[in-house]
Amino acid sequence: SILVRNYHGDPLPLGGTAFALAHVAYILCFWVKTEQCGGFSPAAIAFGGLLYVLAAIALVFHHQANEKSKRNYLLLIGMLAYAAVICLNCTFIFASALAVRTIFGWLTVAGAVSFYISDAILLCGAIGPYKIEYYDEWIWVFYPLGQFLLVAFA
């Protein structure tokens, strides 16, 4: 927590690590499910790659726009690594949905996207120069929705 802190003095790595471990647990579950249902498709890999490219571009611009973090490259590296885990999670869930081909698979994709959105909102609020109206409310819409869709329909 010494390496990367938000600008209120609270450690980000502990929370980021906990969320990343949860994403890794989902990755492992959906990896097994995808392999059991026929494996990965190129479309799933393209989906995850596109998500990561979009996230990386947004993070770099976000990092450069924020005067407080502009010189903190460890923060940028940490954010890019976390984005990679989230995008990998989305990739495995999308691959699983393609392999299973049921409405339940697509509901889990909606859950992964909901997580992706809640993490983007958290990022903007935690370290960004941007103020999001109803910040907490938006997080509490997307995070539980993502959790519910992943657990209920996986």
- In 3D space, the residue among 121, 150, 149 whose CA is nearest the CA of residue 23 turns out to be 150
Q: What is the pLDDT along the chain (154 residues), one digit of tens a residue?
A: 333 444 455 555 666 777 778 888 888 888 888 888 877 788 888 888 888 888 888 878 777 776 666 667 777 777 788 888 888 888 888 888 888 889 998 999 999 889 888 888 877 766 666 677 888 888 889 989 998 998 888 7
Instruction: Give the residues across from 5 on adjacent strands.
Output: 11
Instruction: Give the residues across from 11 on adjacent strands.
Output: 5
**Entry pTM:** 0.74
C-alpha pair distances (Å), 134 with each of 32, 76, 101, 122, 139 = 38, 25, 36, 12, 9
